[in-house]
């Protein structure tokens, strides 16, 4: 199954693992890459030393192409991004910041860079400074989907860009892959679907819970981490909606982040305050979300934890291995496409 994205990355199938904190760890990345897709390491919770070790672990587990991400707004992200350059990671995915310098430095060693975007304005900016592609995140997606659904966002971007588009948001099976390709995308990126696989480190409490949920049981708001974000509906998520920003909690939760990233708290605090109120407020939201997502993902706390998930959760019904899932999706996509060409649309 060849597309512009499979050719660009040198992968077998147009399927990408979204870089999800505490989920897209080396074992998951390698499993996706070994199965023919592109695994993307999430560096958000890591310090530079941990990022370097994670890259080494991925290379021990696979000889296939892989990627790593950097959310440039977050504390410690620039340090991690520099490690990705030093380690010559084949594919770098960045979001929430200006990545022109990443593109320049990655291209010097032959690396590829893709920007995560939610609209044409940011996609064109990424194209203008040389990004090799974009991950277009539709409204259905876990985490930071935009205002427009994938059904419209994907053709809107492909009509207006020269670089290839990876579709994210609402994709979990072969029907979705076939639809994304029909809309002009070169691949799909999946997070929610990969969360519930054998190799996924997501706590079993949330794996079991997600299998019981349907497409209606998510919440979308700026009150989770300060920017529009979609999460699983539960009591903690409803409380976050009602309360909004809790500044005292953010102060203490920021200390957890500082410890995790091995940064002196005073240095982190001063840096945040010096960045201006708007950015400080945003990072305060992130601090609270960081703890909530951590205890959901690793501890399985279904009462106090908050888990970013997409609406695709409602069409996930089992927990296969990564390899089984990818082979199933590719087979189903081929069958759907063949049925459409044969004039049997809607019979699957």
Q: Per-residue pLDDT tens for 264-306?
A: 544 544 455 455 545 555 566 566 677 888 899 999 999 999 9
CA-to-CA dists, residue 30 to 6, 199, 274, angstroms? 17, 10, 39
> In whole angstroms, what is the distance from residue 253 CA to residue 21 CA?
16
In the chain, where the domains are located: 4-201+318-341, 204-297
pLDDT of residue 348: 47
> In whole angstroms, what is the distance from residue 291 CA to residue 156 CA?
36
Q: How confident is the model at residue 345 (pLDDT cuts 50, 70, 90)?
A: low
pLDDT score of 261 more than 60: no
pLDDT of residue 98: 86
pLDDT of residue 305: 93
Model-level pTM greater than 0.95?
no
> In whole angstroms, what is the distance from residue 91 CA to residue 102 CA?
11
- Average predicted confidence (pLDDT) for the chain: 89
Share of the chain above pLDDT 70, in %: 85
pLDDT score of 307 more than 70: yes
pLDDT score of 76 more than 80: no
Answer whether CATH 3.40.640.10 is correct for domain 4-201+318-341: no
pLDDT of residue 265: 46
Question: Which stretches within 35-116 are classed as H helix?
Answer: 48-61, 77-86, 100-108
> In whole angstroms, what is the distance from residue 135 CA to residue 146 CA?
12
Greater pLDDT, 268 or 69:
69
pLDDT of residue 291: 81
pLDDT score of 51 more than 80: yes
Average pLDDT on 87-99 reads 92
pLDDT of residue 290: 75
Average pLDDT on 73-79 reads 77
pLDDT of residue 75: 65
Q: Per-residue pLDDT tens for 163-217?
A: 999 999 999 999 999 999 999 999 999 999 999 999 999 999 999 999 999 999 9
pLDDT of residue 54: 98
Q: How confident is the model at residue 50 (pLDDT cuts 50, 70, 90)?
A: very high
Question: Which stretches within 227-307 are classed as H helix?
Answer: 235-243, 247-260, 265-274, 277-297
Are 4 and 186 spatial neighbours (Cβ–Cβ below 8 Å)?
yes
Greater pLDDT, 225 or 275:
225
Beta-strand runs (E) in 30-171: 39-41, 66-71, 91-95, 112-117, 133-137, 165-168
Q: Per-residue pLDDT tens for 139-158?
A: 999 988 899 999 999 999 99
């Amino acid at each position: 199954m060849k597309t512009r994205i499979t050719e660009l990355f040198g992968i077998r199938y147009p399927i990408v693992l979204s870089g999800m904190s505490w989920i897209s760890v080396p074992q998951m990345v390698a499993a996706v890459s070994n199965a023919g897709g592109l695994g993307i390491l999430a560096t958000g919770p890591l310090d530079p030393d941990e990022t370097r070790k994670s890259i080494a672990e991925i290379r021990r587990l696979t000889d296939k192409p892989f990627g790593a991400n950097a959310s440039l707004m977050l504390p410690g992200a620039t340090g991690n991004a520099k490690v990705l350059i030093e380690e010559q990671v084949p594919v770098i995915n960045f979001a929430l910041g200006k990545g022109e310098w990443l593109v320049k430095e990655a291209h010097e060693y032959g690396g590829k860079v893709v920007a995560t975007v939610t609209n044409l304005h940011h996609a064109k900016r990424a194209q203008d400074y040389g990004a090799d592609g974009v991950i277009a995140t539709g409204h259905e997606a876990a985490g930071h989907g935009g205002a427009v659904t994938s059904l419209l966002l994907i053709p809107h971007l492909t009509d207006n860009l020269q670089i290839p588009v990876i579709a994210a948001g609402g994709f979990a099976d072969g029907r979705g892959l076939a639809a994304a390709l029909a809309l002009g995308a070169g691949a799909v990126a999946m997070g929610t679907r990969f969360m519930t696989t054998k190799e996924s480190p997501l706590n079993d409490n949330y794996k079991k819970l997600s299998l019981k949920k349907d497409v209606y049981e998510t919440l979308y708001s700026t009150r989770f981490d300060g920017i529009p974000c979609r999460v699983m509906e539960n009591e903690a998520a409803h409380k976050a909606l009602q309360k909004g920003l809790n500044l005292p909690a953010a102060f203490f939760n920021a200390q957890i982040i500082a410890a995790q990233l091995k940064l002196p708290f005073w240095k982190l605090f001063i840096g945040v305050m010096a960045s201006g109120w708007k950015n400080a407020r945003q990072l305060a939201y992130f601090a609270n979300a960081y703890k909530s997502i951590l205890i959901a993902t690793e501890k399985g706390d279904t009462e106090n934890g908050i888990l970013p998930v997409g609406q695709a959760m409602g069409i996930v019904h089992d927990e296969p291995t990564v390899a089984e899932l990818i082979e199933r999706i590719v087979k189903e996509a081929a069958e759907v496409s063949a049925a459409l060409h044969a004039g049997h649309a809607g019979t699957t």
